[in-house]
Structure 1
């Protein structure tokens, strides 16, 4: 149930030959993502369980989920950009049904992220699912 934006990322990853190229692409996705207003980088939007500083602020309009996110680490900003592509525009109910680990595995991220980054990614996914469930 991946969005067209996520499918585009998955197709790009299929063309990249090695993890180093994929890693660079994740960083580029993070650089391309709009910065979050520092006024929203507050304890209420902070994601616990991440080694880096991570903030996610939901926006739900007409039952559709979207969010702003940011991090002080470029690779994590890239992961936030990928999660944004995965979830943005879905209904809040669809967000709760996305199998994020399976979708991210399509990118090979599960094999190449450190244990700390994997735990942080899981914390971000859990936060997004919780935000969507709270909005239902």
Structure 2
């Protein structure tokens, strides 16, 4: 997907991360982006919203708005909150069909983050995306 096709927040993330010259700068950016996540309520931090397949605890809530989806997420891990934040700016506003076609590896490659993702963290992010896709399909 080209830059003009990206939602504005995703284009902003892409621009910021591509401008970061080193992993240290991208890690700092991730922490800043993680701080942008809207906190989930205590009621939302429940087993029903927990994403399984992540080493860290991750919670995901979804809301359908017309044909598109809005997600909120949280984690007990700071770096993962940053990764979730840049994932959310990429997926929020997509339809179930667009979610199903999203290439997570490509998105993190574009951000310059894929080489720093450990296999377990990569698997965890895939589990989050699969949960998003499942939520979107199950309510269609």
Unpaired stretches in structure 1, ≥5 consecutive residues: none
| Alpha-carbon contact 1:55-1:70 (below 8 Å) kept | yes
**2:67 counterpart (63, 67, 74):** 63
Equivalent-residue separation in structure 1 for 2:28 and 2:127 (angstroms): 23
Q: How many residue pairs align between the two structures?
A: 136
Following superposition, which runs of at least 4 residues in structure 1 exceed 4 angstroms of deviation? Answer: none
| Alpha-carbon contact 2:37-2:72 (below 8 Å) kept | no
Equivalent in the alignment of 1:129: 133
Equivalent-residue separation in structure 2 for 1:37 and 1:30 (angstroms): 16
Identify which range, 52-61 or 100-109, moves more after superposition: 100-109
Equivalent-residue separation in structure 2 for 1:100 and 1:134 (angstroms): 21
**1:11 counterpart (15, 20, 32):** 15
Q: CA RMSD in A?
A: 1.2
**1:23 counterpart (23, 27, 43):** 27
1:46 partnered with 2:50: yes
1:94 partnered with 2:98: yes
Unpaired stretches in structure 2, ≥5 consecutive residues: none
Equivalent-residue separation in structure 2 for 1:134 and 1:103 (angstroms): 24
1:79 partnered with 2:83: yes
Deviations 1:75-111 (A, max 9, x none): 1111111111011111222111222221121112210
TM-score by length of 2: 0.91
What's the offset of the Cα at 1:45?
0.7
| Alpha-carbon contact 2:51-2:58 (below 8 Å) kept | yes
